[in-house]
Copies of this chain bind each other. A is one copy, B any other.
Amino acid sequence: MDTLHLSRHISSQFNEEIEQIRNHVMAMGGLVEQQLHQALQAIANADSDKAQRVIDNDRQVNDWELKIDHECTRIIAKRQPAASDLRLVMTILKTIADLERIGDETRRIAKVALESFNTQQQDLLVNLDNLGRHVWQMLHDVLDAFARMDIEAALSVYKEDKRVDREYEAITRQLMTYMIEDPRSIPKVMNVLWSARSLERIGDRCKNLSEYIIYLVKGKVVRHSNESELERNARS
């Protein structure tokens, strides 16, 4: 029996299947990115219909996660991938879990926006504008880094999260002064604060995604390490 040929054959089938899964992850990522973009647009234009569509479409994000999860389990059972291939599949599983949670946060943002429109309390949502664009750019960049397995791009998303955190803290302080100056604004300010928090969490998850890319390319676990450790590992 030509084992080498057989293994090459299996490996090429594995490659085809994993390529399809990777394409599905890109499609899921594209949908999540679009959802966030639409939610931010809904806020910018006080567009209730758009916010409602974002809420409705979250089901599609969930469906993608279940589908890709199933595909990954199937490829492991059927192809019994070796170390590095298995690492790829395991990392895709983590990636889609984070994408799904970004979808959840986006749905929360759309829900809060819709509530604000319905009660004519949308004026303060404009405070989310810069943070929203910043986080959306992070998501865009990390998906791009995933598509190209680009470790430098992943590192730069990883570092960007600190700037997002600072921006989030500045917004929080700003919004608290509104509340102190005009206590009647408290309920509507709270809504903006929750959405700012959701955006900040999306930034955290983009950072997770960037860690997975570094892990995939370098084969080193970088989760729970600090920035300088991570940078050293990524560039070594």
Which positions in A face B, CB cutoff 8 Å?
59, 62-63, 65-66, 70, 73, 76-77, 80, 82-83, 86-87, 90, 93-94, 97, 172, 176, 179-180, 183-184, 186-187, 190, 193, 197, 221, 223-224
The residue among A90, A93, A184 with the most chain B CB atoms within 10 A of its own CB is: A90
On whether the beta carbons of B180 and A184 are closer than 8 Å, the reply is yes
What residues of chain B lie closer than 8 Å to A97, measured between beta carbons?
94, 97
What residues of chain B lie closer than 8 Å to A63, measured between beta carbons?
224
- Name the contact of A77 in the complex, choosing from B59, B83, B180 (C-beta under 8 A): B83
Question: With the chains together, A193 CA to B83 CA distance in Å?
Answer: 45
Known: A76-B76, A76-B86, A97-B97. A224 touches B179 (CB 8 A): no
Q: A66-B223, A77-B86 are in contact. List 4 more A-B contacts (CB 8 A).
A: A59-B224, A73-B90, A80-B80, A90-B93
On whether the beta carbons of A73 and B93 are closer than 8 Å, the reply is no
Known: A86-B77, A90-B73. A186 touches B190 (CB 8 A): no
Q: Which residue of B lies closest to A97 (CB)?
A: B97
What residues of chain B lie closer than 8 Å to A223, measured between beta carbons?
62, 66
Offer 14 A-B interface pairs, CB within 8 angstroms, sorted by A. Answer: A59-B224, A62-B224, A65-B224, A66-B221, A66-B223, A66-B224, A70-B221, A73-B87, A76-B76, A77-B83, A77-B86, A90-B93, A176-B186, A190-B193
The residue among A65, A86, A224 with the most chain B CB atoms within 10 A of its own CB is: A224
On whether the beta carbons of A176 and B187 are closer than 8 Å, the reply is yes
- A181 to chain B: closest CB distance in Å? 8
On whether the beta carbons of A77 and B82 are closer than 8 Å, the reply is yes
Question: With the chains together, A94 CA to B193 CA distance in Å?
Answer: 30
